[in-house]
Amino acid sequence: MEKGKKKRFIAKSIFMTHVRRIGWIRTALGGGLMYVSVFEFIFIHLTTIIVLYKWLLAPFSGLKRFRIRDYILLDRGKIAGMRLFDRFNCEFCGYANGTARIWNAEVDELASGTWGKGNILLRPIAAVYALCLLVFLLFNFVFSKILFFFIASFLGLHWTDTRAIGKRLKETNYAGAHGFPVRGVIRFAKLYAESLALNLEQIESGWCPLKHIETETTVVSDHHRNFYPREKLVEAIDALARDGSVSPKKPRY
């Protein structure tokens, strides 16, 4: 009897597992709002990752180049037993989290280097980069905070403490090799990038806690270690039904 019950439960998707936990309204509204953020991630991908870093800064500064395919991992769409809608959700999680990973890596690279110093050509390029990045941050940061407020309200997620992040960046002298105002812009970018990654950790841990295929070059988030092997979809769904997430930050409801 228990085996039969489990089979019927497994037939439900990850989405339906959350419906059973918190109801249709919260699940549909919270989950649906996640897709509004696709514009945010596409914007980050095209502007900060490709245009500003890859095309504007990297060719002239000697900064480390990052391969997008090592960070944005779209490999969970063929996991056996996963429903079509859940496959789509997992691929979206892969894109969003990968975008946040590579952006954090690029900002860290900017913070640790001394690009632009002693190079007359790089000074105007750095100024253009900082100005464009600041305009982007002011718009997108506000949009991201408002959107996550509603997503978190419906799904019971935890609010990221941006004050604590900002305090730590200041205490560790993050981007200290750069002068004002570039240092401030880079810290603002890191504040946004890190808070975005922390928010996404909760979402991915609750909606697709299944491991990526790792190679020598792939880069996964730290929370990937909490995820279930790809062949353990049943166990992952059981965990979501029980706790709502595999993250240490369990949903409030």
In this prediction, residue 181 carries a pLDDT of 81
CB 218 within 8 A of CB 200: no
Q: Tokens in use for 71?
A: 């960070």
pTM of the predicted model over 0.85: yes
Q: What is the pLDDT of residues 147-158, one digit of tens each?
A: 999 999 999 999
Per-residue pLDDT at 27 exceeds 70: yes
In this prediction, residue 114 carries a pLDDT of 63
Side-chain-side CA neighbours of 59 within 13 Å: the count stands at 7
Indicate the average pLDDT of the chain: 89
Per-residue pLDDT at 1 exceeds 50: no
Per-residue pLDDT at 39 exceeds 70: yes
Query: Can you tell me which residue has the tokens 């390029």?
Result: 125
Between 233-243 and 14-22, two packed helices, what is the crossing angle to 10 degrees? 20
In this prediction, residue 145 carries a pLDDT of 92
Q: What is the pLDDT of residues 59-106, one digit of tens each?
A: 878 788 999 999 999 999 889 889 899 999 999 999 999 999 999 999
What CA–CA distances, in Å, run from 1 to 4, 66, 81, 236?
A: 5, 52, 22, 21
Q: Which residues of 224-247 are buried (b: 16+ CB within 10 A; e: fewer)?
A: bebbbebebbeebbbbbbeebbbb
In this prediction, residue 118 carries a pLDDT of 60
CB atoms within 10 A of CB 138: 11
Q: What is the pLDDT of residues 164-188, one digit of tens each?
A: 999 999 999 999 988 888 889 899 9
Which of residues 46 and 8 earns the better pLDDT score? 46
CB 105 within 8 A of CB 54: no
Rounded CA gap, 196 and 82, in Å? 27
